[in-house]
Structure 1
Amino acid sequence: MVAMPYPSAKPTATRKDVARLAGVSTAVVSYVVNGGPKRVSPATEAKVRDAIAALGYRPNAAARALKLGSSEMLGMVVPDATNPFFATLAHAVEEAAAERGYALLIANSGGSLASERRQVANLVSRRVDGVFLCSVLFEPDLRELEAADIPAVLLNHSAETPGFDSVGVALEEGARTAVGHLVWHGHRRIGLIIGTNTGGDLDAREVGWRAGLAEAGLPSGPVMRGPFSREGGYQSGRWLLNEAERPTAVFASSDLQAVGLLKACHEAGVRVPEDLAIVSFDGSAEAEFSWPPLSTVAQPVGEMAHAAVDALVGGGDHKRNRIFPATLVRRASCGC
C-alpha cells in the first residue's frame, strides 16, 4: 500500500500578500493595521481591509510587541472571578482598557495569597504593560512588580500605599450611610454580617457600622463573620437568626452575603423586611434581581475602572489614592 501524503497546511498570509492584493505598499498595510502613524484615505483603507478579510491575514502580535516595546496587554488579578461584583468590575476595566488600545488578561486568585502571588508572577513573566491588583491583603507585597519595573494599580483598595496608585471606594462612609438609613427606618438593634479577609485586618465596613451605631447612640448588635460568598451569608444568617435577642435589621458587607442571608430568612420563616430589614454593600446586579430586591450601597464601578486605567497607562509619575463615594440604592429589603 502506498502511503498518501498529508495535505499541506494552508500557508499563512503575510503583510506582503495583503499589500500585493490591495495594490499598496506594505507600509500602508501597517498604517491600516496599527491605526497610524500616517493617515490613509478611506478608499485605500477599505481596499486593505478587504484584502485582509479575503486572505485571512492575522498580524503577528509578538513581532508587533518587539517593535513597539510594548505587549499592549494589561493584567488583572481578582480574588473571585465568580463574584458578580468582580465580574462586573473586570468587564468595566476591559472596556476602559480597550478604549486605550489595550487587551486585558484576567487571572483569578481564588482568595488565596499563594495563588495571588503565582498569578502576579505569571503576569510578570508574560511582560504585561501593567497590572490591576485586587489583592486579598490590605497591604500586598508588590516587590516582584517593582523589580520587573511593571506599573501596578491597587484596585478595589481604599488604603493609601506609598509608591503605587490605588483606586477604591469609601467603605467606612458607605457603611455609616447604610446604618443611618436603617436607623431612619426606626431600627434600634442592627446586626452585622462581615466578610473575613486573608490578613485578618479590620474591615472599614465594620468600622463604619460601629461608627454609625455610635452616632445614633445605639449599642453594637451581633456580629457574624464569614466568607464573602452566598454560603458565607447563609451560614452567618442561620447563626444570627438563632440569636436570643435577634436584631430587627442587618447590614451585610457584600451583596452575595445578603443573598445567602435571604435564603436563611426564607427557610426560617422570617419575613424581609417586616421581621428583618437588610441593607448590603456592592451594588451588583444580583442585588437588584434577588427577592425582595436588596437595598445596597453601590460602588461606582465604571468610574473606578476608568480611573484605574488612566492611572496605569495615562502617563505621569505622580502616584495617588483615588477614593470614590458609594451611593445608597433604596429597594424593598430595607422597607423602602
Structure 2
Amino acid sequence: MNPRVTRADVARYAGVSSAVVSYVVNGGPRPVAEATAARVREAVELLGYRPNPSAQALRRGSSRLLGHVVPDLGNPLWAQFALAVEDVAAGRGYDVLLASTDGGAEAEHRRIDTLAARGVEALIVTSVLARPDLVARSGPRVPLVLLNTFFEVPGFPSLGVDAFGGAREGTAHLLGHGYGPVGLVIGGEAGELREQGWRAAARDAGAGEGPIERGEFSRAGGYAAGTRMFARPDRPRAVFVASDLQAVGVLRALFELGLRVPRDVAVVSFDGTVETEFTTPQLTTVRQPVAAMAAAAVARALAPAETHDRQVLPAELVVRASCGCGSAPAAAGSR
C-alpha cells in the first residue's frame, strides 16, 4: 500500500513551501503567481495528493457537513427525502452524512450522537417516534431540525406535512364517489393525524366510519391488514391507506381475494412516492411535498433561529385510477 501523499511531498516536488501549496489548494488567503500555482497543480495531479478534509475544516472553522438520520432506507419515502436533502445541501456547498436507524429508537439516539461527534454542523432527523424525546440527549450540541413530524416537539424546530388535511381530502374524495363508509388501514399510535383526518371527512359527509385495521407501515403490514379487512363479508367499498407501502400490500391482498380495483374496492393512499406510479392500477395518493420540505429543513438547519416552532406544508391529492376516476391524468392536482 502506497504511503499517503502529504502537502510536504507536493511542496518538495514543486519546489515551493508547504504554505504556498496550501494557498493554491485552498484558494488563498494569499495570492500565488500563476506560473508557481501551475507547478503546484501539476504536482498535485502527478502525485495524487488529496487534502485532508478534517484539517481543512479546522482551518476554515466549518466542516461543510450535515447529518441526516432516517428510519429506513428501504422505504421509498425516506429514500426520496434522503436524495432531496442531499440535493439541496449540495446546492449550498455541503455534503451529507446519512444514517439509517432501521426503525429503532435507541439506534436513532446512537446515530444522532455519532454524527454530532463526526463534526457535522447541523442535524436533520426524521424520527421513528411520533413525539421523540431528544431534550436530554448528551454529547456535542449541534442545531437539530426534525423533518416529517406530525406533532410539535418542544425545544426543537420541526417540519411536517398537513397530514390531517391530506387524509381528510383523500377520504372525502372517496366519499364523493358515493362509496359509503370508507375503511382505514393505518399503523402507529391510535388517534394520529391521518386517522383524525379520516374521521373528520366521515363527519363532514354525514357518513358512518368504516372499519379500521392496524399494521406496520410496510408492504407486509398493509397486506396483513388488507387481508383481514376484505376477507370478511361486510367489507367496505373503499379504503384510505395511511402509507404507500401499506397500499402496495393492500393491492396484493385484494388481488389474492379476487377483488378488482377500483371496480370492487376503491383505494387512496398517503405519501405520494414514485412507487404509486407503477402499481396496477396506478394509485391515487396524497402526495407529500418532499422537495419543499427538504429545502426548508436544510435552510432551518443552516440558519438556526431562536424560535423552535413547527412549520406545516400542504399536501396534494394526485388523482389516478385506483379511486375510480378512470383514465384521470397521472397528476391531476388537488380536488
Indicate whether the TM-score tops 0.5: yes
Q: Confirm whether residue 259 of structure 1 aligns to residue 248 of structure 2.
A: yes
Q: 1:266, CA displacement in angstroms?
A: 0.8
Q: 1:231 aligns with which of 199, 211, 220?
A: 220
After superposition, where does 1:159-198 map in structure 2 within 5 Å? 159-196=151-188
In structure 2, the CA distance between the partners of 1:254 and 1:32, relative to structure 1 (3 Å rule), is farther
Q: Confirm whether residue 80 of structure 1 aligns to residue 57 of structure 2.
A: no
In structure 2, the CA distance between the partners of 1:237 and 1:46, relative to structure 1 (3 Å rule), is farther
Specify the code of the residue in structure 2 equivalent to 1:239: R
TM-score, structure 1 as length reference: 0.87
> 2:117–2:140: 8 Å Cα contact kept in structure 1?
no
> 1:74–1:129: 8 Å Cα contact kept in structure 2?
yes
Report percent identity of matched pairs. 51
Task: Write out per-residue CA displacement over residues 226-245 of structure 1, whole angstroms, 9 at most, x where no aligned residue.
Answer: 00000000000100112331
After superposition, where does 1:307-322 map in structure 2 within 5 Å? 307-322=296-311
In structure 2, the CA distance between the partners of 1:324 and 1:247, relative to structure 1 (3 Å rule), is same
Q: 1:48, CA displacement in angstroms?
A: 5.6
Please say which of residues 247-256 and 92-101 is displaced more in the overlay: 92-101
Q: 1:22, CA displacement in angstroms?
A: 6.3
Q: 1:153, CA displacement in angstroms?
A: 0.4
Task: Write out per-residue CA displacement over residues 256-314 of structure 1, whole angstroms, 9 at most, x where no aligned residue.
Answer: 00000010111111000100010001111111111111111011111111110100013
Q: 1:215, CA displacement in angstroms?
A: 0.3
Q: 1:32, CA displacement in angstroms?
A: 5.5
TM-score, structure 2 as length reference: 0.88
Alignment partners' CA distance in 1, 2:4 and 2:221: 52
Unaligned runs of 5+ in 2: 326-335
Match of 1:6 in 2: none
Provide the alpha-carbon RMSD of the alignment. Answer: 2.5
> 2:162–2:313: 8 Å Cα contact kept in structure 1?
yes
State how many pairs are aligned. 325
Specify the code of the residue in structure 2 equivalent to 1:15: R
Task: Write out per-residue CA displacement over residues 114-158 of structure 1, whole angstroms, 9 at most, x where no aligned residue.
Answer: 222222232233232221111122221213557632110001113
Q: 1:67, CA displacement in angstroms?
A: 2.7
Match of 1:333 in 2: 322
Match of 2:204 in 1: 215
Specify the code of the residue in structure 2 equivalent to 1:228: F
Alignment partners' CA distance in 1, 2:41 and 2:152: 47
Match of 1:96 in 2: 88
In structure 2, the CA distance between the partners of 1:160 and 1:41, relative to structure 1 (3 Å rule), is farther
Q: 1:202, CA displacement in angstroms?
A: 2.7
Alignment partners' CA distance in 2, 1:95 and 1:77: 15
> 1:89–1:301: 8 Å Cα contact kept in structure 2?
yes
Alignment partners' CA distance in 1, 2:177 and 2:279: 21
Specify the code of the residue in structure 1 equivalent to 2:157: D
Match of 1:60 in 2: 52
In structure 2, the CA distance between the partners of 1:214 and 1:12, relative to structure 1 (3 Å rule), is same
1:333 is paired with a residue whose SS is: coil
Match of 2:4 in 1: 12
Q: 1:206, CA displacement in angstroms?
A: 0.3
Alignment partners' CA distance in 1, 2:242 and 2:36: 56
Task: Write out per-residue CA displacement over residues 159-197 of structure 1, whole angstroms, 9 at most, x where no aligned residue.
Answer: 22233111110000000110111122222121000122x
Q: 1:315, CA displacement in angstroms?
A: 4.6
Specify the code of the residue in structure 2 equivalent to 1:281: F
Specify the code of the residue in structure 1 equivalent to 2:76: P
Please say which of residues 268-277 and 236-245 is displaced more in the overlay: 236-245
Q: 2:123 aligns with which of 116, 131, 154?
A: 131
Match of 1:244 in 2: 233
Q: 1:20, CA displacement in angstroms?
A: 6.1
In structure 2, the CA distance between the partners of 1:318 and 1:285, relative to structure 1 (3 Å rule), is same
Please say which of residues 124-133 and 164-173 is displaced more in the overlay: 124-133
In structure 2, the CA distance between the partners of 1:21 and 1:261, relative to structure 1 (3 Å rule), is same
Specify the code of the residue in structure 1 equivalent to 2:127: S
Match of 1:5 in 2: none
Q: 1:280 aligns with which of 248, 269, 294?
A: 269
1:12 is paired with a residue whose SS is: coil
